[in-house]
Structure 1
Amino acid sequence: MRLSVAAAAATLSAAILLYPLFEAASWFWGATGAVLAVLATSLLAGRLALPAWAAPPAALVALWIYLTASYAAQEAWLYVVPTKASVVELARLLSTGWTDIQRFAAPVPANEAISLLAAGGVGLIAILVDLFAVRLRRAALAGLPILALATVPATILPEPISWPAFILAALGFTGLLVADGRERLGHWGRAVLVRRTRMAATAERSGGSRPAMDTRGLRLSGKRIGFAAIVLAVAVPAALPVMEPVSFFTFGVGGRGSGAGNSISIPSPIANLKGQLELPERRTVLTYTNNDDKPRYLRIYALDRFDGEQFGMEPKGSPDDRTDNGPLPPPPGLGRGVKVDNVVTTVEISEEIAELSFLPLPYPPREVRVEGDWRADVDTLMVFSTRDEAAGLEYEVASSEPAVTGEMLESLPQSRSGADPRYLSLPDDLPPEIEELASRITADADTTYEAAVKLQEFFTKTGNFTYSLRTQGHGNDALRDFLLRSRAGYCEQFAASMAVLARVVGIPSRVAIGYTGGTKIADRWMVATNDSHSWPELYFEGVGWLPFEPTPTGALGQGSARVPAYTVPPLDPVERDTTTPTPGATSSSADEPVDPQARVNPRELDREASLATGGLPPDDSMPLAGKIGIGAAVLLLLLLVPAGMRLATRGRRVRALGRDGAGTSVRVGGGAARPPVGAAWAELDDLLLDYGMARHPSETPRALTRRLTQSHEFGAEAAAALASIASAVERSLFARDPGDAGPVKRDLRTVRRALAATVSRGRRVRAVLLPPSTLRRIRLMGEGLLDGFDRLENLRLRRTTAAPKGS
C-alpha cells in the first residue's frame, strides 16, 4: 500500500512541472483524478494479489472509465460505462486537443480537449510508474517515465524549470525510493528511531531474548543523501557563473549550425506570432509612452536568413555589446547627413508574458536603459538576453528614425554595397513562376524604391489578397500556392512573400516580427496579443532598413497595421509643405531656439538636450557601487545569523540568572539542574563547545572543574568561580535543599574571561561569528525534523480483534 501511494505521489509531483504550459489549473484536477484512478486500481490489485502482468491492463480500464465519466459522461451508459458514442466523443476531443496544442503557443488554454489530453497523458505515466515501482519492484527505473514527463516543459519552454517545482518533483521521486527501501529493509527487523538509546540486541520481554535489528539508520542515511542531492542540484547551478557566448558557444535562433547551449528554438518567433493571433481573448502584452505621442511598430525579431522554407535568425552578442555599456552600434546603412527624428519611448512589459528573451523596440534603437544582462546584435540591433526575461520589465529606449520621403528615396543611389550578401540569398530550387511574378510586378519600375512600392501595392491593392489565419505550411509549395492561387494568409505569409519577391528583384530584405503600435487608452498606448505582427524590412543605401506593410489593413485585415507614409504619394504638394510638425518630436537638424523659462521641470532640459544627440536622459537610479554595497550588506547579515542567535540565547540566560525561580533546566548525568543554576550550566556548556574544549558526555561537574583547572592553569579566582558553579550544579541535582546558589552570574563572567584567555584570537572570532554551539543546535533541529518524518512513517492503523469466547 505504501509503495502504491508513493508511486502516485511521485507522478503528481512531477506533473506540477507542466503548470507553465497551461493558462489555468483545470487540467491539473483532471490529471489528479486520473492518477487517483490508477492508484485505486493498484491498491485493489495488491489486495487481490493479482499477478504483475494483470495490473497495467486493469489500470488502463480504470483510466478509460474515469476519462469517460469526466469528459464524455453524456454519451456513456449511466454516465460511467463506456459506449460506442462515448468512445467516438473521446476520440473527437483527443483530436481537437492535439490540433489545439499545435495551433497555440504555450501557455495554451486549458479547454476541455486539452485537459483530456493532459489527464490521459499523466494517467499513462502513472500506470508506467506503478508498473516499474510496485509490480516489478524496480523503483529506480520508475524515474524514466517521470523524467519523460519532466522533459515536456524543458523542451517546449525556453526558460529553465522553476526551482520550487523541481524540488517538489525531486521530493516525490525521493519519497518513492525511500518507500521502496523501507519495504526492502523492513524484512531485516523491527524499525526504531535512530537516536533512541536502544541497541541492536534489545531483548523481547514476552518470549525469549531474540535481538531486534535496527535498520532505521540505513533509511535515515538514505533520506539525508536524497535531500542533500536535491539541495546541491538547486544551489550549485545557481552559484555557477554563466558562460559568455564567445566563438565556441554561439547564441542563435535556428537549428542549423547553432549547437549552442544558449539557443532559442527556430519555430518560436513564427509559432508564437500565430499563437498570439489565434488566442480566443485579447490580452495586454505591453504599454508604452513616447515624447511625440505617436504609435510605432515595436520590433522583437529580425529574421534575415532564408533557407527556402522559412526565415530564421542567428543573433550574436558579445559582452562588449551590453546595453549598459552605452549607446548601441550605429544603424547599418544610415548616412550621417540624413535627417532623423529622435524619440524616447518608455515601455512596460506585462507580468503575464512568457518566453520572451528579446526586447520589443522601435527601430532603429540608439540607446536602451534596462535592468539585467541585455545585449545588442550588431547587424540587426535586436536586444536579447541569455539570462533574463522581459516579463515585468520597464525600460527606456532612444531611437533615431530616418525622416524619409518618397522623393528622397527616389533620389538615392542604386548601389547595395552596404548590405550583406545573405540579405539577397535565395534557394536554388525557387520556383520559376515566382521569379516571373516578381519581374512582371516591377517591370515598369525605374528605381529600387518604385519596385518596392509596386511590390507592396501588389499585396494591398492589385493582387486581390485576403487576410486569413487558416493558412498553414512553409516552403516553396506553400509560397507558390499563396502567391499564385489561394492569395489568402496572415501577416507572416505577406511579410515573407514580399521579402522573397524583393530579393528576386535585387532588393536586400528581411522579415521583422513584433507588435504594431496598438491602441491609445488614456495617456498610454496599449499593445495586446492581437497586435502581434510581421512585416518586411527593405534596405536602401544611405538610409538603411525601412519597414514596408504588405498585409491588408482595416476591418478586413490586421486592424492596427499602418502603411508607412513614405510609400503613399502625397495628396497635395502644397499641403505637404504647410504641414506643421507634431509637437514633442525633435530632429537632429532642428535649430529653433527654445526659451528655457518656458520649461517648468528642470529634468526636461536634460531630456531634450540628450534627445538632440539621440541618447537618453541621465539615469537617476542607484549607481552600481550602491547596489553592490546593498548586496554585500545583505550577505553580511545572512552570515551574522548564527552570531545573532548565539547572542539572543546568551542574553536570555543572563536575564534568567538575575531572577529567582527562573532559568533553563539542563540535564546533567541522570538528573536535571534546577533554575537558575541550569541557565549557568547551559551557558558554560556552550562556551566550552565554542572554544573547542567541549565537555565529555560522561564527565561530572566536579571532574570537569578538575580537568579545566589543571589543563589550562586557571588562576585562583577563575578556579574558585568554576568550582562554585560546579558545586551549585551538584547541590541542585542531588541535595534535598540546595540552598542559595550564590553569585552564579558573576562566577560565570569570570569563567568566560578565563576560557577566552586560553584560546587563540582566531578561535575567539569564530566563537563570536560562527559559534559551534549554535551550529550544533541548527543541526539538531534538522535531525529532529527527520525524526518527525520517521514517526509519521511508523504510524499504523490498529485493528481490534474480538476476544475468543470462553476466555
Structure 2
Amino acid sequence: MRLTIASGAASFAAAFLLYPLFSGGSWFWTSLGAVLSVVAAGLLSSRLSLPAWAAPLVGLAAAWIFLTVSFASGKAWALVVPTKDSVAELIRLLGVGWADIQRFAAPVPDTEGITLLTAGGVALIAIAVDLLAARLRRAALAGLPLLALATVPATILADPISWPAFIIASLGFIGLLISDGRERIGHWGRAVLVRRTRAVNLSQERTPRDTADTSGLRLSGKRIGFAAILLAVLLPAALPTMEPVSFFTFGVGGRGSGPGNSISIPNPIANLKGQLQLPQRRVVLTYSNSDNRPRYLRIYALDTFDGQQFGMTQPKGAPQNRTENGPLPDPPGLGPRPKIRDVRTNIRISDEIAKLQFLPLPYPPRQIDIDGDWRADVDTLMVFSTREEAAGAEYEVRTTEPEPTADLLDATDSLPSEADDRFLALPENLPPGIRELADEVTAEARTRYEAAVMLQKFFTTDGGFIYSLETQGHSNSALADFLLRSRAGYCEQFAASMAVLARLVGIPSRVAIGYTGGTKVGDHWEVGTNDSHSWPELYFEGVGWLPFEPTPACAAGQGSARVPEYSQPRPEPSTGSTSEPSTGTTSSEADEPQNPQARRNTRELDREGTVATGTTPPDDSMPLAAKIGIGAGALLLVLLIPAGLRLISRNRRVRRLTWKVSQPSDELTARMVTRRGQATVAAVWAELDDVLYDYGMARLPSETPRALARRLTEQYEFDAESAAAMAAIAQSVERVLFARDPGRIAPMGKELRRVRLALAATVSRGRRVRAVLLPPSTLRRMRQVGERLLDGFDLLETIRLRRTSAQRGA
C-alpha cells in the first residue's frame, strides 16, 4: 500500500510541470481528483490481492467514473454511473479539447475540453506508474511515464522548465524510489549505510519488529536524492543551454536558447497562431513612414527545412554590425539594376510585448537608430540583441526597397545564383506527390520568376485552397495532407508550402514571420495581434529576397495581407500596345490592392546613392580551433582552482610570519606580542602539516611535535641547518601548547622555508609538480566540505511523518 500512495504522489508531483501551459487553475484540482481516484483504486486492488493485470483495469474504471462525475454527471445514472449519453458527452468534450489545443498557444485557457484532456492524461500516467512501481515492482522504470509529463512543456515552450516545479517532480520520484527500496530491504535484513550515522545507545531497549529497520536506508536515500536534485538544479546554470526543438509543429518552428550571451527565440508559430486566435485584438506596434504606404514588418527569417517544419539558423551579430555603427550590411543579392525606393519608417513597440529580442522591420533595412546593443545578422538582416528587449522601444528604420519589374525578374535567370545551398535543401524522403505537384503547377513557366508567380496563383486562386485556423494536429504527412488533400490552413501552411514548392523548382526560398501592414489610423498605421503573419521570401540574383503572398488576401483575420505588385501575372497585351517597360528603370505607381487610399507620396525622397554589392562583412562565427582553445582554457582554470586556493592559504600564513620582534615596554604590549607569537606558531604548524600531506609525509595522529621533528630529521637525513629549523618549530609548538607562559616567540618564516626546501629535496619532481598544481591538502579540505554538506542532510532524519511507538505511548 505504501508503493501505491507513493506512486500517486509521484504522478501528481510530476503534473506540477504542466502549469506553464495553462492560464487557469481548474486543470490542477481536476488532475488531483483524477490521481486520488487512481490511488483509491490501487489501494482497493492491494486490499483484495488482485493480480497485476487487473489493477490497471480497476484504475481505468475509477478514473472513468471520476471524469464522468466531473464533466458529464448530468447525463450519468445517479450522477455517477456512466451511461451511453455520458460516454458520448465525454467523447464530444475530448474532440473540443483537442481542437482547442490546436487553436491556442500556451498558456491556453482551461476550458472544459482542455481540462478533461489534461486530467485524463494525468490519470493514465498515474495508472502506468502504479502498474510499474506497485504491481511489477519496477520503480525505476516508472520514471519513464513521469518523464512524459516533463517532455510536453519542454518541447512546446521555449522557456526552460521552472526549477521549483522540477524540484517538486524530482522529490516525488525520489520518494517513490525510497519507498520501493524500503519495501525490498524490509524483507531481507538490516540496511547497510553508505556513510556513518550517529552512535546508537546500545543500552536502549527496542521492541521486536516483524520487519527489518529501514530507517538507515531512508536516511541514505534522502542524502543521495537531495544531493542529486541540488546538482541537477545548480549544474545546468554553469553549462551552455541546449536549443528546444518542437516535435509537435508542422510548418514553421522556432528554436531558441537560454539567457546570457545567447538569443531568446520563442516559438514563432506558437505565438503566431495564439495571436491570431485571441478573442480581442490588441495593438502590438504602431508606425509611420515617409511614403504613407503599409509594409510587412519581418521579425524572423527561417531558412532550414527538415521535412516537417522550417527552422532558423542561429543568427550571428558581429561587433561591426551594431546598429550604432552606422549602415547595416548590404542586402544579399541586391544589385544596381532595380529602381530603389528610400523610405524612413518610425516604429514604436507596445510595452506589453514580452520576451522579444528581435526588431520588427521592413525589408531590407539599411540603417536603424535605436538605443541599446542591437546587431544585424549578415545573411538575413534580422536585427537582434542578447541584452535588450523590444518592449517599449522606439526607433527609426531607413530602407532601400527594390522595385523590380517582371522583365527584370525574368532576366535574372541568366545570372549565376550566389544564394547559399541551405535555401534549396530538402529532405530525401519528401513525398513524391509533392514533387509531382510542383512540376505540374509550373509546367508552363519559362523562367524561375514565372514559376514563382504560378505558385502564388496556385495558392491564392487556382488550387482551391481555403483559409482556416482549425488545423487538426501535425504529423510527418501534414505537408502532403495540406497540399494534396485538405487544402485548408492558415498563413503558416501557405508560407511553408510555397517555400517548399519553390525549392523543388530551383528557387532559393525561406519563410518570414512578422506582421502585415496593419490598419491606417490617422497619420499612422496600427498593427494588432490579428495582423500576425507568415509569408515566403524568394531569392532572385541581382534583386535579392522578395516577399510573395500565397495566403488568400481576403481571408478572415488576414485582411491586411497584400499581393506584391511585381508578383501579379502580366496583363494580356492589347492590340495597339507598342511600348514596353525599360528594364530596371521604371516602377508602377498604382494603388495597393487592399489600400486604395495609399498612393505614392509626391514628396518621395530621392535615392541617396547606388546600392553597393560588395563583399559582406566578415562572419563573426568563431573558428573551431578558437572554440577548442577556449574550452581547454576554461577546463584548465577549473583544474587550477585547488592550486589557487592553496596559494591563497599559503600567502595568508606567510604574512603572519613577517613581523618584527621588539622589546615590550609594558604589560599590554607584552600580551600582544605573546598573542602574535601564538598566531605565528599556529600558521607555521598548519603550513607544515599541509606541506607534509602534499609530499605524502602525513603526520601520524599519535606523534608529538618533538617526535615528528626527530622522525623527519632521521628518516630524510636533514642537514644541520634543516634539523635545527625543524627542532625550533617543534619547540615553539610545544611551548604554545603546554607552557603556562610561552613568552616571546620569534617569527619562524626562515625556519619554515628551510624545512620546506629540505622536504622537497627528498621527493620526486612529479610529486613536487602535483603538490603545486593539484595539492592533496586542498583536495582533502574540499572533500571535507562535501562531507559536511552531506552531514547536513542528517537533519532530515528528524522529520517524522508518523509518531513513534514511544510517542504514542506517552
Q: Which category of TM-score, normalised to the shorter sequence, fits these structures?
A: 0.5 to 0.7
Q: 1:141 is matched with which residue?
A: 141
SS of structure 1 residue aligned to 2:760: coil
Is the 8 Å Cα contact of residues 479 and 497 (structure 2) preserved in structure 1?
A: no
Q: 2:578 is matched with which residue?
A: none
Cα displacement string for residues 294-327 of structure 1 (whole angstroms, at most 9, x for unaligned residues)? 74431635689999xxx9768889x9x9867988
Aligned-pair CA distance for 1:704: 3.6
- Does structure 1 residue 781 correspond to structure 2 residue 785? yes
2: CA distance between counterparts of 1:344 and 1:722?
84
- Does structure 1 residue 404 correspond to structure 2 residue 425? no
SS of structure 2 residue aligned to 1:725: helix
1: CA distance between counterparts of 2:746 and 2:35?
62
Is the 8 Å Cα contact of residues 431 and 480 (structure 1) preserved in structure 2?
A: no
Aligned-pair CA distance for 1:513: 3.9
Unpaired runs of at least 5, structure 2: 244-248, 252-266, 322-327, 418-422, 427-431, 569-587, 593-597, 621-625, 660-668
2: CA distance between counterparts of 1:224 and 1:740?
50
Q: 1:581 is matched with which residue?
A: 604
Aligned-pair CA distance for 1:195: 2.2
- TM-score, normalization by structure 2: 0.61
Amino acid at match of 2:787: E
2: CA distance between counterparts of 1:615 and 1:347?
29
Q: 2:590 is matched with which residue?
A: 570
2: CA distance between counterparts of 1:228 and 1:500?
46
Aligned-pair CA distance for 1:146: 2.7
Deviates further, 778-787 or 759-768 = 759-768
Q: 1:177 is matched with which residue?
A: 177
The 1:8–1:558 alpha-carbon spacing in structure 2 relative to 1, beyond 3 Å, is same
Aligned-pair CA distance for 1:798: 0.9
SS of structure 2 residue aligned to 1:300: strand
Amino acid at match of 2:805: R
SS of structure 2 residue aligned to 1:695: coil
The 1:728–1:34 alpha-carbon spacing in structure 2 relative to 1, beyond 3 Å, is farther
How many residues end up aligned between the 2 structures? Answer: 703
Amino acid at match of 1:588: G
The 1:195–1:746 alpha-carbon spacing in structure 2 relative to 1, beyond 3 Å, is farther
- Does structure 1 residue 799 correspond to structure 2 residue 799? no
Cα displacement string for residues 636-674 of structure 1 (whole angstroms, at most 9, x for unaligned residues)? 69965885599579969999999989x99xxxxxxxxx9
The 1:126–1:745 alpha-carbon spacing in structure 2 relative to 1, beyond 3 Å, is farther
Amino acid at match of 1:725: V
Q: 1:718 is matched with which residue?
A: 726
Is the 8 Å Cα contact of residues 353 and 391 (structure 1) preserved in structure 2?
A: no
SS of structure 1 residue aligned to 2:805: coil
The 1:788–1:749 alpha-carbon spacing in structure 2 relative to 1, beyond 3 Å, is farther
Amino acid at match of 2:115: S
Cα displacement string for residues 562-616 of structure 1 (whole angstroms, at most 9, x for unaligned residues)? 45466676379xx98981125xx854339xxxxxxxxxxxxxxxxxxxx998989
Is the 8 Å Cα contact of residues 718 and 750 (structure 1) preserved in structure 2?
A: yes
Q: 1:94 is matched with which residue?
A: 94
Is the 8 Å Cα contact of residues 536 and 548 (structure 1) preserved in structure 2?
A: yes
SS of structure 2 residue aligned to 1:558: coil
Matches within 5 A, 1:239-638: 273-280=272-279, 295-298=295-298, 300-301=300-301, 331-332=332-333, 334-341=334-341, 352=354, 362-364=362-364, 376=379, 381=380, 401-404=400-403, 408-409=405-406, 413=410, 416-418=413-415, 427=434, 430=437, 469-470=469-470, 490-491=490-491, 512-517=511-516, 529-535=529-535, 543-549=543-549, 551=551, 557-564=557-564, 570=590, 579-582=602-605, 587-589=608-610
Amino acid at match of 1:778: M
Aligned-pair CA distance for 1:468: 5.1
The 1:679–1:298 alpha-carbon spacing in structure 2 relative to 1, beyond 3 Å, is same
The 1:364–1:145 alpha-carbon spacing in structure 2 relative to 1, beyond 3 Å, is same
Q: 2:7 is matched with which residue?
A: 7
Is the 8 Å Cα contact of residues 21 and 106 (structure 2) preserved in structure 1?
A: yes
SS of structure 1 residue aligned to 2:403: coil
Amino acid at match of 1:798: T
Is the 8 Å Cα contact of residues 414 and 447 (structure 1) preserved in structure 2?
A: no
Deviates further, 359-368 or 779-788 = 359-368
1: CA distance between counterparts of 2:270 and 2:45?
45
Is the 8 Å Cα contact of residues 99 and 470 (structure 2) preserved in structure 1?
A: no
Deviates further, 179-188 or 124-133 = 179-188
Cα displacement string for residues 63-113 of structure 1 (whole angstroms, at most 9, x for unaligned residues)? 4565566666788899x8566576665444333222222333455444443
Q: 1:594 is matched with which residue?
A: none
Cα displacement string for residues 688-738 of structure 1 (whole angstroms, at most 9, x for unaligned residues)? 445543333444555444434444534324313313324543x4xxxxxx6
The 1:524–1:55 alpha-carbon spacing in structure 2 relative to 1, beyond 3 Å, is farther
Is the 8 Å Cα contact of residues 643 and 770 (structure 1) preserved in structure 2?
A: no
Aligned-pair CA distance for 1:534: 3.2
The 1:398–1:745 alpha-carbon spacing in structure 2 relative to 1, beyond 3 Å, is farther
- TM-score, normalization by structure 1: 0.61
Amino acid at match of 2:189: W
Q: 1:696 is matched with which residue?
A: 700
2: CA distance between counterparts of 1:535 and 1:569?
23
Amino acid at match of 2:530: N
Matches within 5 A, 1:34-45: 34-39=34-39, 42=42
2: CA distance between counterparts of 1:288 and 1:587?
23
Q: 2:759 is matched with which residue?
A: 758
Q: 1:604 is matched with which residue?
A: none
Unpaired runs of at least 5, structure 1: 244-252, 256-267, 591-610, 620-624, 665-673, 732-737
Cα displacement string for residues 462-517 of structure 1 (whole angstroms, at most 9, x for unaligned residues)? 9999865457797788669999xxxx97445776898999999x996967441225
Is the 8 Å Cα contact of residues 467 and 557 (structure 1) preserved in structure 2?
A: no
Cα displacement string for residues 539-562 of structure 1 (whole angstroms, at most 9, x for unaligned residues)? 777535533446566896524434
Is the 8 Å Cα contact of residues 189 and 215 (structure 1) preserved in structure 2?
A: no
The 1:742–1:28 alpha-carbon spacing in structure 2 relative to 1, beyond 3 Å, is farther
The 1:784–1:507 alpha-carbon spacing in structure 2 relative to 1, beyond 3 Å, is closer
2: CA distance between counterparts of 1:415 and 1:341?
20
The 1:106–1:213 alpha-carbon spacing in structure 2 relative to 1, beyond 3 Å, is closer
2: CA distance between counterparts of 1:532 and 1:446?
32
Is the 8 Å Cα contact of residues 341 and 403 (structure 2) preserved in structure 1?
A: no
Matches within 5 A, 1:162-241: 173-186=173-186, 187-189=188-190, 194-196=195-197, 220=220
> What is the RMSD of the two structures over their aligned residues, measured on CA atoms?
7.1
1: CA distance between counterparts of 2:561 and 2:49?
67
Cα displacement string for residues 378-415 of structure 1 (whole angstroms, at most 9, x for unaligned residues)? xxx59799xx999958999999644326xx44576567
2: CA distance between counterparts of 1:703 and 1:197?
34
Is the 8 Å Cα contact of residues 689 and 772 (structure 1) preserved in structure 2?
A: yes
Query: Relative contact order, CA 8 A, sep 6+: which one is greater?
Result: 2
Aligned-pair CA distance for 1:677: 9.1
2: CA distance between counterparts of 1:286 and 1:146?
42
SS of structure 1 residue aligned to 2:534: strand
1: CA distance between counterparts of 2:280 and 2:600?
44
Percent identity of paired positions between Structure 1 and Structure 2: 45
Amino acid at match of 2:730: L
2: CA distance between counterparts of 1:787 and 1:549?
66
